[in-house]
Amino acid sequence: MSDSAKRTLLASPRGYCAGVDRAVVTVEKALDHFGPPVYMRKQIVHNKHVVEVLEERGAVFVDELDEVPEGSLVVFSAHGVSPAVRQQAEDRNLRTIDATCPLVTKVHSEARRFAKDEYEILLIGHDGHEEVEGTTGEAPENITLVQDPGEAASVDVDGSSRMVWLSQTTLSVDETMQTVTRLRERFPGLEDPPSDDICYATQNRQVAVKEIAPHADLVIVVGSSNSSNSVRLVEVALNAGARAAYRVDNAGEIEESWLDGVQTVGVTSGASVPDSLVGGVIDYLAERGFPVPEEFVTAKESVVFSLPSELRRELKKAGTSPGAESA
């Protein structure tokens, strides 16, 4: 195959969303202002590279708050935490900065409101994901987890009261709606959330990969294995017509055999991936005869979230500008 016949298709939007950008900048500014160590419960965002870079600067990641010395500073991750975790932080006299994505906070608020109105809540999401744990903790007596369309057919709920579905913000839009359809076959009165729970960035990245997948022999998704939205992009690419699709943390994980007989490669990345890692993949492909990528733009993103109020207050006291974050 001649190199002139090869193509590289680059999906846009890709990479950092506003919530991830806000969380990462929050930790960076906390380290600058307070100095290390700054503790984080769980990974601030689901990306191996980002975590390693922050660790080098003095961030300390822990699984649970009992690993944090009393009185220390803790940043809650973009995925959110339950009220029980917040109470534990208060009991241990921890100083906290809440970097929960505002779109996750919205789902938490919906869960509390529907629970107060005595709804049964069917939460579509993945067991063990921090976001699901945080949302469930807002209304544990009212929430039942449904992981996929298969579980929708067998989930055991009372069904005698009003019912509503909510979802994790980083799911596949198509699979989520399949799950809702299955649930509604069993529970015709199932109500929709007041607005989309799957975040704008997750939806935009899925739409973009759908645009390039039908033209691609191979789609490479840059993102970590614990990143739900990155894993979903592989599934979406395959369902949209890509002959093959793989997820990698970085270019070093690409296997040469994937490129055998491949003429067109599509590239995208999850919402917690810095674009430098995508650049590494593009460079890897260029070294193997693939040309400068053609960018497929399906949306322009301009969403901006302000830094957490706790951090903004501290920076203002010190006369430091909080700055702005953009997607």
Q: Which of the following is catalytic: 120, 130, 131, 138?
A: 131
Strands 245-248 and 163-167: unpaired
Count Cβ atoms within 10 A of the Cβ of residue 110 and give its class: 0-12 exposed, 13-18 middle, 19 or more buried.
Answer: buried
CA distance 209 to 191: 30
Token couple for 206? 């899925």
Residue 90 appears among annotated catalytic residues: no
Catalytic residues: 131
